[in-house]
Amino acid sequence: MTKNYDITFVGHMCFDEIKPFQGKSHVAPGSAVLCGAMVAARVGKKVAAVVKMSKKDENILQPMKDVGVDTYLVPSEVTTFATVTHESANVDERKLAVVKSAGLISINDFPPTLKTTCAHLAGISDTEFDMALMKGLKARGFSVSLDMQSFVRHRTPNGGEIQFRDVPDKKEMAAMMDKLKLDIVEAKILTGTDDLEKAATIVESWGCPEVVITHAHGVLARVNGQTYYEKFSNSNVSGRTGRGDTTFAAYLSWRLDHDVLTSLKFAAALVSIKMETPGPFQGTLADVARRLTEKHSSENLFLQPQR
């Protein structure tokens, strides 16, 4: 029996050990899939998650199920375990490691009866996806988006330390995608510049029509030759982990029914709420509407990013 969805998130579920700067470490279920699917479901979309993990840890899927996400488990011997170490007060300076990885997801792992408007590849390292999967999803007629951290983050064999490197197939990947998500670190590695608009324009020239880049202060979108930017409004960064995943999921969800400008403002407001509390977004549409009214009025939106 065929099941139809608005958005399907694809990737690993994992356990994240967060080691704050001058704070106490804690372990909790995480992943780009979890952050993204929770957002899309909470804003009213029909959502699926295709996740590779150990079946013995299936209980960590429950938060997604509780908000209406249909989960499809691809079995692996292990569930991915990642560490995020903040070595300074700058929350964007993080040391990452994927201690254990559930391994690559094949196009054959994707349920043949699952139909979706959008398929978003939400990985945390280069151990999750390959070109065959991307080509296979495109061949099924889906609108496909990719988080470039899935390829910029290279897992080293000894200890799983993440090293950030350029991606040889980046232009081919970009040309296949309907939307591409990056943060400022990934953008600089791939394009050679940390100027958000210049980086987005370069990626656009590779053939991707819609590029979204986040950094500490806000989010930029480059669509059809036009640049849009919205600042974040969070009062603290206790929930910084998952910032980019949440931003893009909110943008992708709202973009199904709204224009770029409206979707960007919505995403910035929603992720600003999320960053004030650790874990996935737990708010409501009413919370986002309130934040939009209070902090994201028209004078806060810039057509060009503020340096």
Give Cα separations from 7 to 41, 49, 126, 246, 247 (angstroms): 9, 9, 22, 14, 15
Nearest to 150 by CA among 181, 124, 180, 178: 124
pLDDT at 302 over 80: no
Q: Higher pLDDT residue, 247 or 302? A: 247
Are 256 and 235 contacting, i.e. CB atoms less than 8 angstroms apart?
A: no
Cα–Cα distance between 41 and 6 in angstroms, integer?
A: 10
pLDDT band at 298 (very low <50, low <70, confident <90, very high): low
- Give the Cβ contact number of residue 42 at 10 Å: 24
Dig out the tokens for 277 from the structure: 């509390």
Q: What is the mean pLDDT of residues 200-206?
A: 98
pLDDT band at 304 (very low <50, low <70, confident <90, very high): very low
pLDDT 10s digits, 15-68: 988 888 777 888 989 899 999 999 999 999 999 999 999 999 999 999 999 999
Q: How many CA atoms lie within 13 A of 220 on its CB side?
A: 27
Cα–Cα distance between 161 and 87 in angstroms, integer?
A: 15
Return the CATH class of domain 3-302: alpha beta
Mean residue pLDDT of the chain comes to 93
Task: Look at residue 91 in the predicted model and tell me its pLDDT.
Answer: 66
Dig out the tokens for 303 from the structure: 């057509």
pLDDT 10s digits, 248-290: 999 999 999 999 999 999 999 999 999 999 889 999 999 999 9
Query: DSSP state, 156?
Result: P
pLDDT band at 303 (very low <50, low <70, confident <90, very high): very low
- Give the Cβ contact number of residue 99 at 10 Å: 16
pLDDT 10s digits, 67-101: 999 999 999 999 999 998 887 877 667 788 999 99
Cα–Cα distance between 112 and 62 in angstroms, integer?
A: 23
Q: At what angle do helices 285-295 and 260-274 cross, to 10 degrees?
A: 100
Q: What is the mean pLDDT of residues 113-141?
A: 97
| Torsion sign over Cα 162, 93, 204, 140 | positive
Domains in the chain: boundaries: 3-302
Residue type, position 306, single letter: Q
pLDDT at 301 over 50: no
pLDDT at 299 over 60: no
Cα–Cα distance between 48 and 44 in angstroms, integer?
A: 13
pLDDT 10s digits, 213-246: 999 999 999 999 999 999 999 999 888 888 999 9
- Give the Cβ contact number of residue 93 at 10 Å: 12
The strand order across the sheet containing 94-100 reads 26-30, 14-19, 80-86, 94-100
Task: Look at residue 85 in the predicted model and tell me its pLDDT.
Answer: 86
DSSP secondary structure, 226-272, as one string = EEEEEE---S--TT-TTHHHHHHHHHHHHHTTS-HHHHHHHHHHHHH
Query: DSSP state, 303?
Result: S
pLDDT at 306 over 50: no
Nearest to 281 by CA among 295, 292, 267: 267
Task: Look at residue 114 in the predicted model and tell me its pLDDT.
Answer: 97
Cα–Cα distance between 52 and 40 in angstroms, integer?
A: 20
Q: Output the pTM of the full model.
A: 0.92
Cα–Cα distance between 127 and 160 in angstroms, integer?
A: 11
Lowest mean pLDDT among 76-90, 111-125, 140-154, 264-278: 76-90
Q: Which residues of 182-206 are buried (b: 16+ CB within 10 A; e: fewer)?
A: bbbbbbbbbbeeeebbebbbbbbeb
pLDDT at 130 over 50: yes
